[in-house]
């Protein structure tokens, strides 16, 4: 669970950054990978189908639904992580100026 919370924190950090400024290609790619890792955590069949296949789409949707359900069930944790990400991004932005 600690690994999942770490990946989720990165995902929320990406969301906070994206709300404040455009991302470069490398940064956006890393954020997409973090989101993929979050969804994969909720995919019941860990044998992932190749990207672009119907089975993989179904797996991705199952992961997405599982993640959204987890967010609802863990609203306090989600709020805490999102607020922490926003504070970190704002602090980094202030430090650069």
- What's CA 32's distance to the chain center, in Å? 8
Average pLDDT over residues 9-26: 93
The number of distinct structural domains making up the chain is 1
Instruction: Find the domain containing 27 and state its range.
Output: 2-96
Task: Tell me the whole-structure pTM to 2 decimals.
Answer: 0.83
Identify the burial level of 91 via C-beta atoms within 10 angstroms of its C-beta, where 0-12 means exposed, 13-18 middle and 19 or more buried: exposed
Mean pLDDT across the chain: 91
* Tens of pLDDT, residues 35-80: 999 999 998 777 899 999 999 999 999 999 999 999 999 999 999 9
């Amino acid at each position: 669970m600690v690994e999942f919370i770490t990946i989720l924190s990165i995902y929320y950090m990406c969301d906070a950054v994206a709300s404040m400024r455009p991302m470069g290609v490398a940064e956006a790619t890393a954020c997409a990978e973090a989101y993929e890792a979050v969804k994969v955590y909720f995919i019941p069949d860990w044998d992932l189908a190749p990207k672009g296949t119907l089975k993989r789409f179904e797996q991705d949707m199952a992961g997405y639904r599982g993640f959204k359900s987890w967010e609802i069930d863990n609203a306090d944790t989600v709020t805490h992580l999102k607020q922490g990400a926003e504070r970190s991004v704002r602090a980094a932005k202030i430090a650069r100026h």
